[in-house]
Amino acid sequence: MEKIKQNPIVKKIGINRIVLCGVLLLMYAVFCMLSDKFVGMQRIMSALNYAYFLGFLSLGVTFVIATGGIDFSIGPVMFCSALISGYCLTSYGVPMALSLVISVLVGTLFGVFNGYFVSYWTVPPFIISMASMNIAKGLASVFTKTQSVSWPQSVDANGWYRSFIKVGNFPVGLVIFLVFAVLCSILLNQTKAGRYILSLGSNKEAVRLSGVNVKKWEMLAYVICGTLVGIAAIFYVAAYTTVQPGYGDQYNNEAIAGCVMGGTSMVGGLASISGTVIGVFIIALLQEGILALGFSKDYQLIITGIIVIVAVYADVATRRRKN
Partner 1 sequence: MGDTILTMNEIDKSFPGVHALDHVNFEVKKGEVHALMGENGAGKSTLMKVLTGIYTKDSGSIVFEGKEVEFHNTREAQDAGIVIVHQELNMLGHLTVAQNIFIGREFKKGIRIDDKKMNEEASKLFQKLHIDIDPTEMMSNLTVGKQQMCEIAKAISHEAKVIIFDEPSAALTETEIEELFKIIRDLRKQQLGIVYISHRMDEIKVITDRVTVMRDGGYVGTLITKECTKDDIINMMVGRVIYEDPKTESAVPKDAPVVLKVEKLNAGRMVQDVSFELRKGEVLGFSGLMGAGRTETARAIFGADPKTGGDIYINGQKVEINSPQDAVKYGIGYLSEDRKRFGIVVQKSVAENSTMAALENFVKGLFIDKKKENKIAQDYVESLATKTPGVDQLVVNLSGGNQQKVVIAKWLIRNCDILIFDEPTRGIDVGAKNEIYKLMNRLAEEGKSIIMISSEMTEILRMSDRIVVMCEGRKTGEIDISEASQEIIMNMATREIG
Q: Shortest approach of partner 1 to residue 214 CB, angstroms? A: 9
Using CB under 8 A, which of 150, 213, 242, 318 touches partner 1? 213
Three-state secondary-structure class, residue 167: strand
Query: CA-to-CA distance for 12 and 42, rounded, in angstroms?
Result: 34
Say which residues have a Cβ less than 8 Å from residue 30's Cβ, sequence separation at least 6: 289
Query: CA-to-CA distance for 240 and 237, rounded, in angstroms?
Result: 5
Using CB under 8 A, which of 142, 206, 302, 316 touches partner 1? 206
Q: Shortest approach of partner 1 to residue 167 CB, angstroms? A: 31
Which CB sits closer to partner 1, 91 or 191?
Answer: 191
211 binds partner 1 (CB under 8 A): yes
Q: Shortest approach of partner 1 to residue 152 CB, angstroms? A: 36
Using CB under 8 A, which of 10, 96, 212, 303 touches partner 1? 212
Which CB sits closer to partner 1, 39 or 183?
Answer: 183
**x/- binding map, residues 250-269, to partner 1, per CB under 8 A?**
-------------------x
Say which residues have a Cβ less than 8 Å from residue 255's Cβ, sequence separation at least 6: 54, 57, 58, 60, 61, 74, 75, 280
Three-state secondary-structure class, residue 197: helix
Q: Shortest approach of partner 1 to residue 5 CB, angstroms? A: 11
Q: Report 177-196 residues binding partner 1 (CB under 8 A).
A: 186, 190-192, 195-196
In terms of Cβ atoms closer than 10 Å to its own Cβ (0-12, 13-18, 19+), residue 294 is exposed
Strands (E), the chain: 149-150, 242-243
What are residue 243's phi and psi, to 5 degrees? -125, 140
Query: CA-to-CA distance for 231 and 85, rounded, in angstroms?
Result: 12
16 binds partner 1 (CB under 8 A): no
Using CB under 8 A, which of 35, 141, 202, 241 touches partner 1? 202
How far from each other are the two terminal CA atoms of the chain, in whole angstroms? Answer: 21
8 binds partner 1 (CB under 8 A): no
Q: Shortest approach of partner 1 to residue 298 CB, angstroms? A: 38
Q: Report 41-70 residues binding partner 1 (CB under 8 A).
A: none
Among 37-45, 90-98, 134-142, 208-216, which window interacts with partner 1 (CB under 8 A)? 208-216
Neighbours of 265 (CB within 10 A): 22
Task: List residues near partner 1 by CB under 8 A.
Answer: 186, 190-192, 195-196, 198-199, 202-203, 205-213, 269-270
